[in-house]
Structures are given as C-alpha cells and as structure tokens.
Chain A
Amino acid sequence: MPAVSKGDGMRGLAVFISDIRNCKSKEAEVKRINKELANIRSKFKGDKALDGYSKKKYVCKLLFIFLLGHDIDFGHMEAVNLLSSNKYTEKQIGYLFISVLVNSNSDLISLINNGIKNDLASRNPTFMNLALHCIANVGSREMAEAFASQIPSILVAGDTMDSVKQSAALCLLRLNRTSPDLVPMGEWTARVVHLLNDQHLGVVTAATSLITTLAQKSPEDFRTSISLAVARLSRIVTSASIDLQDYTYYFVAAPWLSVKLLRLLQCYPPPEDAALRSRLTECLETILNKAQEPPKSKKVQHSNAKNAVLFEAIALIIHHDSEPTLLVRACNQLGQFLQHRETNLRYLALESMCTLASSEFSHEAVKTHIDTVINALKTERDVSVRQRAVDLLYAMCDRSNSKQIVAEMLSYLENADYSIREEIVLKVAILAEKYAVDYTWYVDTILNLIRIAGDHVSEEVWYRVIQIVINQDDVQGYAAKTVFEALQAPACHENLLKVGGYILGEFGNLIAGDPRSSPLVQFNLLHSKFHLCSVPTRALLLSAYIKFINLFPEVKPTIQDVLRSDSQLRNADVELQQRAIEYLRLSCIASTDILATVLEEMPPFPERESSILAKLKKKKGPGKVPDMDEARWNVNGNTEHSENTEPTNKSSPPSLVADLLPTNRPRPASYSPTILSAGNMAPSHPFTDLLNMNSSPAAGASLLVDVLSDLSSPAPAPTTGPGPTDVCEEHFSRFVCKNNGVIFENQLLQIGLKSEYRQNLGRIYVFYGNKTSSQFLSFSSSVTSSDTLKTQLNVHTMPVDPTVEGGAQLQQILNIECLSDFSDTPVLNVQFRYGGTLQNIAVKLPVMLNKFFQPTEMTSEDFFQRWKQLGVPQQEVQTIFKAQHPMDTDVTNAKILGFGVALLSGVDPNPANFVGAGVIHTKNTQVGCLLRLEPNPQAEMYRLTLRTSRESVSQRLCDLLSEQF
C-alpha cells in the first residue's frame, strides 16, 4: 500500500484493515468491527476537537466498515467537515464518503451542497474536479436541482482549465441522464458545440459524449455539430498515427474519440451540404481503406481499436443508408470478417450484416455470403455466434432463397443448441409462411418442424398451421393426407397429434375416399395415441371425434362407444368428462341436420398479425427483430386494427346457431364453430370474431403474403370521392355455396356476412369493420333492388348507427323474404365520411335463389319417377363445362351440399355421378328441383343437368352452379 508508507499515510487504518483480514471467523470480524466502532464513537464524542488527520482516518475506517457490509449511522457530520479542509487528501476522503454513503434525503444535504458550491467557486482546479466528481457520482435529483444551472457556465467559461472542462462535461452528461428535465437548455448549448474544436482531445471526447446525448434529446439545437464533427473526424482519420501523441492507442489515432464522433453522426440523417457529405464519405472510405491495410502491430489492442472504429463507421453507413457503394464495401468488409479467426469479430460481423440485410442497396450483397453464414451455423463453436448466424439468415431470407434457408435451418435444428431451438422454430415457421409460394411446401415444412423439434414448437406455431390450412381451401386435402401419413409413425410428438387431430377432424373427409385412410382407419389411428397424451390434447381429440361423427356417419357407433366408456364419462378431469358427456348426448339426440350445422366446418380465420411473429417479437424484446419487419408491419396497418376490433367483438351479438338448435342446451352458443376451439384456441378466437375476417380462400394466398410482408404489391387504393362506384362482386361467387364470410374489403372497410335461411325467409347479419383508427361519420347503408326484383324479393333493412369508431365493428340485420323465383341480385350501398371525403361503396349481396332450397331425401325410385315427370324440354337445362378447379369428389360433395340440395347416394347407376334433390320455397310457390352432375375426369369436364318445374328456375340454378366447379 504505497499511501501508507508515505508520511501522510494512515497507520491506524492499515492496522485495522490487516486485523480484519486476519480474522479467522465471521464472529471475530464482527467483534473487531464493534470494537472499532465504539472507539470511533468515543473519539467523535470526545469534547476536544479532532485534528483533520484523525478525522480523515476515522472517516476512512467508517467507509471501509460500510463497504464490508455493515451499517454506518454516524460520522456524516465529520465527513462534511472534511470538505472544508484545505488539504487535498482530507477533502478527497470527505467527498469519497459522501458519494458512497450520503443518501439524498439526508438532513446534511444543504451543508454538503454548500461545501460543493464553495469548491466550485474556488479557483483551484483540483478542488473543482473533486466537487464535480462528487456531483456526478451522487447524481441525485437534489444534486441536479442545486447545480444543473451552474455547471454549464463552468463548461463554457473561457478561463476554465481543460481538466475541469472535461469533468464538467461528464458531470453534466450524468445529470442529464438521471434528471433530463432539470438540465436547462440555453445559449450555452451553442458554445458547447464549439468544444468539438477544442485543442485538448480529452475535452473533445467528453464533449462528444455530452453532445451525443443532448442531440438525441433535441436534435435541432445541435445540428451545427455535424459539420464540426465531420471536420474533426476527417482530421483524426487523415492524421498520421503519431500526430496525436497521448491519444494514439497502439498506432490507432484517438479511437475512442472517433467512435464517439461516429455515434454522434448517427443521430442525424446524412448531411445535406454536398461538400460536407463528400468529406464524410471520404472519411468513411478512408476508414474502410485502413481496414485493408496490413496491421501496424500484432498486438490485439491494435486490431481491437481499429475494428471498433470500423464497426462504428459501418453502423453509420447503415444508418445513413444512402451510399450504395459504401454499403456494398461495408458488406464486403464484413464478409471478410465472417471467416476471421477472432470469434468476437465474427459475432460483430454477423450482427452488423443483420442490419445491412434490411437495406435495399446491400441486401443483394449480403445474400452473396449465404454459404459462409450457413457454414458458420454448422461449424461455429460459440452458441451466441450461431444465434447471430440464425438471425442473419432470417434477415437475408427472401423469396429467392427461402427454400434453401428454411431447409438449412431445419437441418441445423436437429442438433441445435437447446437454448436457441425455440427461436429457430419460430423463425422457420415465420419464413415458411412468409415466403410460401406453394402451401404444400409450407405444410411439409411445418410438419417436419414439429417432427424434429416438437418440444420447442410453441402453441402459436401450430395454431398458425391450422389457421392457414383452414383459410387455404386448396391445401386442405394435401394437409389431411400428409398429417395422416405423419401420424402413422410409431412415436409422434404431441403437437403433431394436436395438428393431426384438428385437421383430420375438419378435413378427414377429403381423404376418406382412399380405403387406406378410410374413416375408421383415421379414427383408430387417432385413438391409438389418445391415451398417451395430455389432457388438453385429449380434449382436442374428443372434439375431433365428434367432428368425425358428423363427417362419417358410419363410424358413429364406434365413436359413441368410445365416448361412453368409463374412462371418458367418468374421467377425473372435468373438461374431458364434460366434453364426453355433451358430445355423446349431442350425437344421440341431434338429427343429422343439426349435427351438420353445429359441427360445420370451421370458417376461415380472420387475418391478423401472425401470432408467431408476435411471439418472436416478445421473445427478442423491442428493437431486436430487424427493423425492416417493423417498418413493413406499420405500413400495413393491419396489426392495430385486428387488435382493436377484438374487444368490440365481444359485445357483438347473437349466436346464429342458437336459433337452430331445437333443444334447450345450457351452452348452445359454444356449440357452434368454437366447438373445437374450446380450451384450445378459444382465447384468441372468440366465436363472433370469426366474422371479422378479411381474407378469403380465393384471395387468400395473396392476402396472406400481403399482410405479412410485401411492400411491393400495391394495396388496393381506397375508393375516394363521392359519386357512383362500380358494384363490387369480387367475392360474390364464393357465396353460392357458403353463407358466411367476407364479401368486401378495402383499406378502410371490411364487410362480413353471416346469413341463415329457413324456407322462404332469410336473415343476413352484415358486419362493417372500421379498419382505420379514426371515426366514420354519417355512416349509412341501404339495399337497392331492380324494379323486377322488388316484386320478387322483399329486403327489409334495420337502421344503423351513423358513426363507426376507429377499429370498431358495426352490425346490421337484413331480413329477406322470397316472394317468387328471381335471378337478379340486390345491391348493398354503403356511404360514410372518412377524413372529410365521402366514401361510396356498392356490393352485390349474395342472395341467390338457391339459398331458399330445402333439401329433400328420396329413394332411387322416387327420384327417377320425378325426373320423368319433369320431362318437358323447357324444364330441363343442361350445360357442359370445363372444370376450373381440381376434380375432387369430396370437394364436389361439399359444394353440392352447400348449394342447398340433398345429396342422394346410390341413386345414379354410375357411382361417380352426383345426384341431388331439393325444393325451393318462395312465398307463392314451391319449386321442386332435381340435379345431376356427371364428371369426366379424363377430359376434366362436367355435365350438369337440372330439371325443375319452372324454366326460369332451372336456368338460374344452372348458371349459379356451373360457375362453382
């Protein structure tokens, strides 16, 4: 201890410390400290005044005892006394004690402040420094209140010493961080900027830190600093390594100052002044050039300092994002680092590249390094570096390389570190969805994902798969088939089982035609895994079973037996028991029709922010997901919208199915499509929410991608200005065989329908969703019909509220009565004011003749008898057309059922043909209708024959139905 050997050293303190160090046990230490404390107390108590030396010694001892972890509740006064001493060492100890021990609410604070004030006012630079250090170390609000106004004047005063300026700048920085509101901005700010020109580099470094912080707070006040900073930077960069003497660190000129200046410049956009700009570009180029030069020293400090400046320069280049050449150069430089043997450099390079990837200029350049990055992923020893590699792969992924990257990530996943597995899973899930051109690939990828890393696949991931499969009509069959095959593995993950149960429950019918996956086989496959899984999965499987009962009446007894077994009906778990009992009763009591309604296929999910992405964001914390995503998300604006609508939906009304259910079930509403959701997906998708969808299978593929990322695909322009607009019938044809869905959508408004028909009456619930965050004013909607239609169809509109809040949803009920057969369609006119302009929207309402169908079951004999009765040539309409969609029996079945007629099996001698019968109810008459559809798979053609008692009806129905295949 050098201090002790000098005359000024404190022997008593040294002895005390060595005593404590020699203590054998905790108890001995406490005893020694108690003794010392008593001694100090008696000394402080003593009536004769202590000299400065003893005071300093005892305060030091107290400080030491405090730092050992004991409470000190006296001696503060003595410490404050030390402040007024003229000796440096005594003052120093006093300040030390105060910065460590004095808390802000101490009653001594005014005395302390007085001491500090005196020192600040003194002309002695060391005392001023001590005082400034103390203010900065304590950094409390009180300190800021007392001195925040005084320090700036010290900082900019002309006669202040350099070292004091340095301390003052740092002290102000600290106060600005702890209580920014108390640091007054004033004319000094302009003069602070000129400190960048100071002779003394230490002052410049301290001032740069201060200015950077202040500039973040009020960029405008410090705009002048740009030119000074650039000038200073260029002087440093171009200086020879020996010019700066003390500030040259291992042959690098003032690395800390350079880094700080570069940071400061990152607070601002690229300078507008061309000269300045070129000078800055020159600087950055020089820095990049220097990186290429052979190192001047082999010492690690040299390369560290050099690289620190380089990385900060690259950060600035990325921040400016304006010079393509620089960006590409930076990218190439980072590319070199990717293979550097220094792990830290590889880490930093990957991290910086991640941000580079989001720049449009350098995205391509980053992509060239894909192989290196993939290699890093595989061979890197350090897990944090691998993590960065994954991040970079995620960031550089686009349509062109998505398949490769996803495949690499998947293969890496098998032996990835456990800590990053979940994140990789999320990323793979997102990329697969985002860049899926072909949804079969998506389904394959996700199923693979679940197979490889089932444990790390979070709920959100598999929810998402199901949402997508349900929203994409064309992959449903494929998904069912793939899931079925995947489930055949002897040991499959529970998550796979969940997906499997859900998809087979919904779309098992699509693969039921194949004898290898007949309904019973499907059921047995699912049930074989039933006992191995957890309660929530079992609950989901039970729901899948009840869906099977609806899809395949032939397995009903088997499933009922399963439900009836004691292990279900008397299960200890209430949820399982309740499901088993209710499903069993439901399957026994309800007729086929009711079952079909209750267990209807899930309607498409509303599009919203991908739950996975939300999860990834949450996991990484704000700002860690590459910026581009954030930006794109905000542009799309969908995020807010879907979040906002949720609460309003809760209040929105009646369950349609409730009316249809004949029995007084206690929870009728929950039997509707939520049925499968209960307990699994319910929290995120309440039943009514289903109406709030903005994607549809037809436009789904593009919309999904749209919502996720694509800036390039132009969003539909909002209809502007008043006046007649085209009648929208984009989604119209979809509603021929469906009753619910989204009929219209643009950037402002989404219109969803939910309709129900009984005989000649119908009711449509129209949901208007405000997608913006501001109000729609003078909102009105009406239904107009052509004159002929008015005599055929009665449409009664309920009035609606004239304002729709931002993000809210409005419901309107339309009552419809069919008077006689019709072929025209009514039009829904919507008018509202948004942001001052009047919006006019007209949508074709999907009210078609076939909606008033009542299916009729009949035997083969009956059918042909009636067929012959309708033998008049005008009564028959026949059309032959080419298939627009793949010819799938199950899909066709579903469509014919959706059309409204009963599907009669075993009527036609050719089993491939479809035969249906139904009665159209109008107020005046009832029109019987028979139809026959003969597919020709070789030619991909259909022949549709319709016979009804009315010629016009036949024609209309034929037109409607033929568009569907």
Chain B
Amino acid sequence: MIGGLFIYNHKGEVLISRVYRDDIGRNAVDAFRVNVIHARQQVRSPVTNIARTSFFHVKRSNIWLAAVTKQNVNAAMVFEFLYKMCDVMTAYFGKISEENIKNNFVLIYELLDEILDFGYPQNSETGALKTFITQQGIKGQHQTKEEQSQITSQVTGQIGWRREGIKYRRNELFLDVLESVNLLMSPQGQVLSAHVSGRVVMKSYLSGMPECKFGMNDKIVIDKQGKGGTTEDTGKSSGKQSIAIDDCTFHQCVRLSKFDSERSISFIPPDGEYELMRYRTTKDIILPFRVIPLVREVGRTKLEVKVVIKSNFKPSLLAQKIEVRIPTPLNTSGVQVICMKGKAKYKASENAIVWKIKRMAGMKESQISAEIELLPTNDKKKWARPPISMNFEVPFAPSGLKVRYLKVFESKLNYSDHDVIKWVRYIGRSGIYETRC
C-alpha cells in the first residue's frame, strides 16, 4: 500500500509531504528529487525504482505528484488514486499550480488524511468529501448534530456518494460524450492503428434519490433486443448502427451485477459532475480527417513539402481548432510557406511548421505547400522523418456511439422522467493523430 505521498514544484522543492508508513524515510523525498526531477536524462517512465522503493508519479503542469511505497502494490490502483487526488484538488481549488497548492496546504493535508488511511485509499468522491471537508472556517460551520450524524451515516452507508434530501426546483441533467481519436496512418493512406477512447461525463441536478437508467447503441444490447424483441425495435436497430465496445469501466454508483446480467446501466447518480463511464473502441471508427503528405527532397539543400487535408464527415458539421504540425529537419535554415486557408508558421523552437485553421466544414479539402532550405552538415545521418500530427475538435462521436435514452425514476418525490430536462452533447477530439510522411 502507499507509504507516502509527496508533491513537488518544478524545482524539486517539496510542497506537500505526507508519510503514512514507517518504512518510508525522509530520504525518500530527496531520492525522488535527485533521481527523477533533477535527473540528467529525462525520466519518462511513470514508475521509478530507487533502492527497493517504488515511486509513482504524475505531472500536472509544473507540479509533480509522487506516491511512494516499499511494497508490491497494484500500480494501476496507485495511478487511479493519483488521478483521483488531482480531480479532488481541482474540484476544491481549481487549477493545480504551485500557488494554489501553497495557498491550500492545510486543506490538502486534511484531504490526504481523509482519502488515504494508512496508505489504503478511502472514499474520494468529491461530493461526499465536500459535505464534511469544507473551506469555511469553524465559525461558518453551523452543522447541527443531526446534520453531522447524517453525514456519518451517508459516508459509512451503502450509498456513500449521494446524500439524502437534495432538492432542486428544476430537475436538470447534462450528458457529455467526450471522445479522443488516435490514429497512425502510413503515407499511402493505410490505417496502421486506430482507436477511440471515450468518456461519458454527467452533470446531474436531480432531487431526492433518483434511480437512473442509461442506454446506448451497444452492439450486444441491440442484438439481444433484436432477437427477442418486438418488431418495432428491430426496425429501429437496423436503421441505426450499433457499436462494439472493447472494454469499459464505470463509476462506483453503477450496479455492476445488473450490468453483468442484463447489460443495462442503472445507478443512483451522485450530485453534481462525475464521470459515468469510460470505454474504448477499435472497430468502425469514423476518421474525421485524412492527411495526404507529399515530401520531395530536391538536392541536399532543399525540401519541398505539400500536405492536403480532407474533412470526412457531414457537410453540415463544423470542425474547430484544427492544427497540423509538419516536422522539419534539424538542419533547416529557412522556410517559405503558402497555404489556402488558415495561418501557417515555421516554429524554429519546435522544429516544425504549424498550420492552424479555425473552422472547417465537412467534405472539404485544404492544402499547404512549403519550401524548406537546408544547411549542409557533416553528419551523414539521414533525417528520420517524424510523422505529421494533427489536432482538432468535431461535434460528433468518432466511435459512432449514440445515447439512446437516459431514464430517471424517483418514486418518493413527485416528478417523472418527462419532467427532467436533459442535455446531450458529443465532442470528438484528436488524441495522437499522426500520418507518416
């Protein structure tokens, strides 16, 4: 289990140090600083072993979070905890920065005491934590005994993520499907690898203890319904496409037993924002953009590059924040760029030409051409030709996932599914979207 947790700034100074177990000494703090933060070679592995002590770190902007242990722990658990810890801190004081951490160090220690106990992760649900770790002073807390006991029963009870007696005038519900699409394509346009990792994020403002049911076009569910189901359903399923989900994980509120037996996702939602599920698909991915590179070496001192991008979705949709990054050789001495659309610039500090387009509709095409002058070197090494990468944002889910329904049942209070206002949004972003050239 986790023996200790340290937070460092970019210089390696310790901002937060919390040791849970005796086997972690003070020198562990320095060991991590010396061997990872100040290492000569950049340490890329998130897990480092120094003198039989394991350090798991994540980096948020300039801040290092490191969990330390001497035992053989489940690394995935530790990272899950670290990410959760980041979420909790963000929920409490916004962006994780040196300034914010210094200003909130008392709160952070308080949180650490609550979410880790002798190195074992505890309830780290922000909603639940906020009920008893507040940022008001002691005077501000006018909690009655009743309220306190309520908190206790909630935190220790079966449904630890939601307290009772929540009331909203308007019952509202926001559903975001956020996907990032990853691609590696050969120069000839052959897909070498592609996958989508997505998240379903919910914001719920519902009264009472509602029971929710979430449905999407999961292949298994659709097929099942098609077999045993009514004529109405079969008609629908043939019209709509279903998707094959490779793997998925759920928020703790989802009843896994029900999912296992019926493949239905039912839950009592936490209040506020949370991530309902995470999933990954690899089949039938809609690639929003196609990049066609053309690189020609003209002698030893010149390079001609032409890149065409094609948008491959409904013309009615608009892609945003498009950025194409074309790497240049290390001995580039000058670049001339011509592009039809957007703005392109040679960034010497990054050794790349960056081409930005604000908006682009579907089924369109755009082109950039560049002339790169090279300086002859005495190194005989050939340029490695790194891939051209791309960033964008599109208003649909590249995996093809569709939300079929989200039903809310609340038997005690008097509101029905129809009274709940529901919002659904799809956002597809680029992950590592590369084309070799």
A residues with CB within 8 A of B: 24-26, 31-32, 34-35, 37-39, 41-42, 44-45, 71, 73-74, 76, 106-108
Instruction: Give 9 pairs: A residue, B residue, CB < 8 Å, sorted on A.
Output: A25-B10, A32-B349, A38-B332, A45-B333, A71-B379, A73-B330, A73-B379, A74-B331, A107-B378
A32 to B348: give the CA distance in the assembly, Å: 9
CB-based contact A25/B62 at 8 Å: yes
Choice from B330, B348, B378 contacting A106 with Cβ under 8 Å: B378
CB-based contact A39/B348 at 8 Å: yes
Kindly identify, within residues 356 to 383 of chain B, every residue whose CB is under 8 Å from any CB belonging to chain A.
Answer: 373, 375-379
Choice from B332, B350, B378, B379 contacting A41 with Cβ under 8 Å: B332
Kindly identify, within residues 307 to 353 of chain B, every residue whose CB is under 8 Å from any CB belonging to chain A.
Answer: 330-334, 348-351
CB-based contact A44/B62 at 8 Å: no
Q: Number of contacting residues on B, CB 8 A?
A: 18
The yes or no answer to B72 lying at the interface (CB within 8 A) is no
- Answer whether A74 and B375 are a contact pair too, CB < 8 Å, given A26-B42, A34-B349: yes
| Per-residue A-contact encoding for B6-19, CB less than 8 Å = 1, 0 else | 00001000000000
CB-based contact B375/A44 at 8 Å: yes
CB-based contact B377/A73 at 8 Å: yes
A71 to B351: give the CA distance in the assembly, Å: 15
CB-based contact A24/B377 at 8 Å: no
- Answer whether A31 and B334 are a contact pair too, CB < 8 Å, given A26-B42, A44-B375, A106-B378: no
CB-based contact B334/A45 at 8 Å: yes
**Residues of A contacting B351 in the complex (Cβ-Cβ under 8 angstroms):** 34, 38
- Name A27's closest neighbour in chain B (CB-CB): B42
- Name A26's closest neighbour in chain B (CB-CB): B42
- Answer whether A24 and B10 are a contact pair too, CB < 8 Å, given A32-B349, A45-B373, A76-B378: yes
CB-based contact A38/B348 at 8 Å: yes
- Answer whether A41 and B375 are a contact pair too, CB < 8 Å, given A34-B349, A34-B350: yes
Per CB-CB distance, the 8 closest pairs between chain A and chain B, nearest first, are: A38-B348, A45-B333, A31-B349, A41-B333, A73-B379, A35-B349, A73-B377, A35-B348
Q: How many Å from the CB of A34 to the closest CB on chain B?
A: 5
A44 to B379: give the CA distance in the assembly, Å: 17
A71 to B379: give the CA distance in the assembly, Å: 10
A468 to B139: give the CA distance in the assembly, Å: 89
A34 to B10: give the CA distance in the assembly, Å: 22
Q: Give 20 new A-B contacts, CB below 8 A, not counting A35-B349, A42-B334.
A: A24-B10, A24-B62, A25-B10, A32-B349, A34-B349, A34-B351, A35-B348, A37-B330, A38-B332, A38-B348, A38-B351, A41-B332, A44-B333, A44-B375, A73-B377, A74-B331, A74-B377, A74-B378, A76-B378, A108-B378
**Residues of A contacting B330 in the complex (Cβ-Cβ under 8 angstroms):** 37, 73
**Residues of B contacting A44 in the complex (Cβ-Cβ under 8 angstroms):** 333, 375
- Name B328's closest neighbour in chain A (CB-CB): A38
A38 to B379: give the CA distance in the assembly, Å: 17
Q: How many Å from the CB of B336 to the closest CB on chain A?
A: 12
A34 to B352: give the CA distance in the assembly, Å: 11
A108 to B378: give the CA distance in the assembly, Å: 10
**Residues of B contacting A74 in the complex (Cβ-Cβ under 8 angstroms):** 331, 375-378
CB-based contact A73/B333 at 8 Å: no
**Residues of B contacting A107 in the complex (Cβ-Cβ under 8 angstroms):** 378
A38 to B376: give the CA distance in the assembly, Å: 13
Q: How many Å from the CB of A42 to the closest CB on chain B?
A: 5
CB-based contact A73/B331 at 8 Å: yes
**Residues of B contacting A32 in the complex (Cβ-Cβ under 8 angstroms):** 349
Choice from B42, B348, B375 contacting A34 with Cβ under 8 Å: B348
CB-based contact A31/B62 at 8 Å: no
- Name B381's closest neighbour in chain A (CB-CB): A73
A860 to B332: give the CA distance in the assembly, Å: 111
**Residues of A contacting B377 in the complex (Cβ-Cβ under 8 angstroms):** 73-74
**Residues of A contacting B10 in the complex (Cβ-Cβ under 8 angstroms):** 24-25
| Per-residue A-contact encoding for B365-403, CB less than 8 Å = 1, 0 else | 000000001011111000000000000000000000000
Q: How many Å from the CB of A41 to the closest CB on chain B?
A: 4
- Name A42's closest neighbour in chain B (CB-CB): B333
- Name B379's closest neighbour in chain A (CB-CB): A73
**Residues of B contacting A39 in the complex (Cβ-Cβ under 8 angstroms):** 348
A327 to B397: give the CA distance in the assembly, Å: 94
**Residues of A contacting B62 in the complex (Cβ-Cβ under 8 angstroms):** 24-25
Q: How many Å from the CB of B15 to the closest CB on chain A?
A: 16
CB-based contact B378/A38 at 8 Å: no
Q: How many Å from the CB of B387 to the closest CB on chain A?
A: 19
Q: How many Å from the CB of A61 to the closest CB on chain B?
A: 14
CB-based contact A73/B378 at 8 Å: yes
| Per-residue A-contact encoding for B52-69, CB less than 8 Å = 1, 0 else | 000000000010000000
**Residues of B contacting A25 in the complex (Cβ-Cβ under 8 angstroms):** 10, 62
A26 to B40: give the CA distance in the assembly, Å: 10
Q: How many Å from the CB of B78 to the closest CB on chain A?
A: 25
A71 to B376: give the CA distance in the assembly, Å: 15
- Which one of A37, A38, A74, A108 has the greatest number of beta carbons of chain B within 10 Å? A38
**Residues of A contacting B373 in the complex (Cβ-Cβ under 8 angstroms):** 45
CB-based contact A38/B333 at 8 Å: yes
Q: How many Å from the CB of B62 to the closest CB on chain A?
A: 7
Q: How many Å from the CB of A157 to the closest CB on chain B?
A: 37
A106 to B378: give the CA distance in the assembly, Å: 8
Q: How many Å from the CB of A19 to the closest CB on chain B?
A: 12
**Residues of A contacting B379 in the complex (Cβ-Cβ under 8 angstroms):** 71, 73
Q: How many Å from the CB of A868 to the closest CB on chain B?
A: 84
- Name A28's closest neighbour in chain B (CB-CB): B349
Q: How many Å from the CB of A479 to the closest CB on chain B?
A: 45
- Answer whether A31 and B350 are a contact pair too, CB < 8 Å, given A41-B331, A45-B334: yes
- Name A35's closest neighbour in chain B (CB-CB): B349
A477 to B334: give the CA distance in the assembly, Å: 93
Q: How many Å from the CB of A245 to the closest CB on chain B?
A: 47
**Residues of A contacting B376 in the complex (Cβ-Cβ under 8 angstroms):** 74
- Name A24's closest neighbour in chain B (CB-CB): B10
**Residues of B contacting A108 in the complex (Cβ-Cβ under 8 angstroms):** 378
A527 to B351: give the CA distance in the assembly, Å: 75
CB-based contact A45/B349 at 8 Å: no
Q: How many Å from the CB of A23 to the closest CB on chain B?
A: 11
A32 to B330: give the CA distance in the assembly, Å: 14
- Which one of B10, B330, B333, B334 has the greatest number of beta carbons of chain A within 10 Å? B333
Kindly identify, within residues 5 to 55 of chain B, every residue whose CB is under 8 Å from any CB belonging to chain A.
Answer: 10, 42
Q: How many Å from the CB of A769 to the closest CB on chain B?
A: 55
A31 to B376: give the CA distance in the assembly, Å: 22
| Per-residue A-contact encoding for B105-146, CB less than 8 Å = 1, 0 else | 000000000000000000000000000000000000000000
A37 to B375: give the CA distance in the assembly, Å: 11
- Which one of B334, B348, B376, B379 has the greatest number of beta carbons of chain A within 10 Å? B348
- Name A39's closest neighbour in chain B (CB-CB): B348
A42 to B374: give the CA distance in the assembly, Å: 9
Q: How many Å from the CB of B294 to the closest CB on chain A?
A: 24
Q: How many Å from the CB of A664 to the closest CB on chain B?
A: 55
| Per-residue A-contact encoding for B226-266, CB less than 8 Å = 1, 0 else | 00000000000000000000000000000000000000000
**Residues of B contacting A41 in the complex (Cβ-Cβ under 8 angstroms):** 331-333, 375
A73 to B373: give the CA distance in the assembly, Å: 16
**Residues of B contacting A31 in the complex (Cβ-Cβ under 8 angstroms):** 349-350
Q: How many Å from the CB of A716 to the closest CB on chain B?
A: 61
A363 to B375: give the CA distance in the assembly, Å: 72
Q: How many Å from the CB of B226 to the closest CB on chain A?
A: 52
